[in-house]
Chain A
Amino acid sequence: MSILKKLLPIDIASGMKLTGKYFGRNFLQANRSKKHVHITVEYPETPISIAPRYRGRLQMLRDEQGEIKCVCCLACEKICPTQVITINKGKKEGRKTPYPTRYDFEMERCIFCEFCVESCGFDSIILNHQFELAAYNREDFSIGMHGEYQDMFRVSPVGQYSISSSASPDAPDYTQ
């Protein structure tokens, strides 16, 4: 029996069957159909799906009236281990709670620990799903409330060098 097992390449045949099955499947479905079998992603052209708890860049939120939710309690600034958040308290007409006149976030030192979001009692900041954070200049990592690339409310001030579809206007919303 053992001689027969050595003579007949059953294990080789079963291995060939398995790889042949995978080849057939991928060969027939490789045409970028809606349901593709291959596990790799053609990243720059096709948007990739991100896990819901992915910790991307810090982003401020607004409420339904378009008002900044932040009330300058400074909890995030205090808890931040690397001290990348700087907040200036201010006043605004017709608003009872304090208003941040300055909210600076220096991303080059951020460790994306999400303590700031957890400490926030007003759900006014989140870590969004933006992952293309590379930039050519150090200044691009200093993100705040003012200026063209200083927007804490939008996705991608530093992702401007991305060639993926997330940089295009109809990009998927990473803030979900």
Chain B
Amino acid sequence: MMTPVQQVVMAVIQITVLISIILLIVPVMTFAERKVIGYIQVRLGATRQAGGIRGFAAGINKLSWAMGRIPILSFFRGLPVFAADGLKLLLKEDIVPDRADRFVFVIAPVVCMIPAFATFAVICFYPGTLFVFPDQFPIVGGLPFTGFLTDINVGLLYIMAVGSIGVYGIVLGGWASNSKYPLLGGLRSAAQIISYEIPLSLSLLAAVVLSGTLNFRELSVYLAGVPTVTAAGDVVQMPLIAAVPLFFGFFFYLTCGFAETNRVPFDLAEAETELVSGFHTEYTGMKFAWFMLAEYANMMAVSAIAAGFFLGGHYLLPFGLQRFVPDGIPFLAEPSLLFFFGKVFFLLFVFLWVRATLPRYRYDQLMSVGWKWLIPVTLINLLIAAAIRFAF
């Protein structure tokens, strides 16, 4: 049993690792966004820095050009751009508009960012111990490093509750800017997220009804279709027919996830053709960077939840089809961190892919899609899941 000191130290270590992984993936995502959208638009994306013939930037450009000759490295040619992006955001002047509500203006990006990161507290990356600290470590020696931060039995409820706090940051930021475009963007975002929270919850409820638990780890293991042993000692396994509501639920959840994270085609909160830049029009420097960080962290959270619930989590096959993988196979039949992160990265790619493909919805179309179509079909999906649960 762990002492309180050990618990605190272990929590700090795990949180540090998790946060650094998120903070590492976010800038890589901004770089990947340039490159992926570039490739889709039949160009190369970022390949060089702006700069003269001589000097530091020219040296980096020469290096980038040389990297182009090496097969794998050629994809990373514009990598200095994202370092320059981060540096630019750090060094930029921090402008607060005249007669803006200063306190709310400063607090809004933080309100937006904290829930985005807090969501990861219950997400289970691996259902067990990743490694055990060797005994030589002073405090944590011999303790297991688990693939999840916490294993609470209301994990999904926590995700839903914390995830919907983030919109307050957007609304407050829009209101505190003392400008009409941010205000409109914030209001749009509020209405959009209220509308899409319902089908999002309903599509996740289908998974909850099938598995009968709110615990993220138990949910993902059960929905992957592998036989699990309950606390009572019974062996339970998801019926194969349950793959149908899971399959449709995945697409419903992904659609609502796009709306929740304010991404294209539902990025009405920052519709740049109508509202300059939406809720973060007046934000500069690091405050703007926090909004960006929150958006990308939210994308990661949505991807992780979709991967854990619908795509089989840390197992190989999605939608509960893992049962068809025989037990004997060494790597494919076992849960792995690689599978989970592979699915997360694929879904992050889907975010960029959709952004390069679909145009933005009109506001009334957005509302009609949410209320007239997504809520009925997710309800039907939930009914099917409940019927399967009742029958089998």
Contacts and interface: CB of A to CB of B under 8 A. Distances in A.
B241 interface: no
Interface in A19-49: 19-20, 22-23, 26-27, 30-32, 37-40, 42, 45
B68 to A, nearest CB: 5
A5 interface: no
B91 interface: no
Dominant SS among interface residues on chain B: helix
B36 A23 contact: yes
B357 A7 contact: no
Contacts of A30: 39, 44, 74-75
Contacts of A45: 65
Contacts of A18: 357
Nearest to B75: A30
B373 interface: yes
A6 to B, nearest CB: 7
Nearest to A24: B39
Interface in B42-77: 42-44, 47, 53, 65, 68-69, 71, 74-75
Interface string B320-357: 00000000000000000000000000000000011011
A113 interface: no
A147 interface: no
Interface residues of A, number: 23
Contact of B68 (A15, A27, A32): A32
Contact of B44 (A19, A22, A40, A161): A40
Given A7-B373, A42-B44, A19 B356 contact: yes
A171 interface: no
Nearest to A163: B53
B65 A39 contact: no
Nearest to B376: A7
B21 interface: no
B25 interface: no
B377 A7 contact: yes
Interface string A110-124: 000000000000000
Nearest to B255: A9
A40 B69 contact: no
Given A19-B353, A20-B353, A31-B71, A42 B47 contact: yes
A12 interface: yes
B83 interface: no
A32 B353 contact: no
A16 interface: yes
B189 to A, nearest CB: 23
A145 B71 CA distance: 48
Nearest to A37: B42
A87 B276 CA distance: 57
B358 interface: yes
A2 B99 CA distance: 52
A40 B48 CA distance: 14
Given A6-B373, A15-B358, A40 B353 contact: no
Contacts of A39: 42-43
B48 to A, nearest CB: 8
Query: Which residue, B39, B43, B74, B358, has most C-beta atoms of chain A within 10 A?
Result: B39
Nearest to B377: A7
A40 B44 CA distance: 7
A26 B75 CA distance: 11
A26 to B, nearest CB: 4
B357 A26 contact: no
Contacts of A12: 357-358
Nearest to B43: A40
Contact of B39 (A15, A26, A163): A26
Contacts of A32: 68-69, 74
Contacts of B68: 31-32
B74 A31 contact: yes
Nearest to A46: B65
A23 B353 contact: yes
A31 B377 CA distance: 44
Nearest to A11: B358
B96 interface: no
A2 B147 CA distance: 47
B40 interface: yes
Given A31-B71, A163-B53, 5 more contacts: A7-B377, A22-B39, A23-B36, A23-B39, A31-B74
Interface of A: 6-7, 12, 15-16, 18-20, 22-23, 26-27, 30-32, 37-40, 42, 45, 161, 163
Interface of B: 36, 38-44, 47, 53, 65, 68-69, 71, 74-75, 353-354, 356-358, 373, 377
20 contacts: A6-B373, A7-B377, A15-B358, A16-B354, A19-B40, A19-B353, A20-B353, A23-B36, A23-B39, A23-B353, A26-B38, A26-B42, A26-B44, A30-B44, A30-B74, A31-B68, A32-B68, A32-B69, A39-B43, A40-B43
8 tightest A-B CB contacts, nearest first: A26-B39, A40-B43, A19-B357, A31-B74, A23-B40, A163-B53, A19-B40, A15-B357
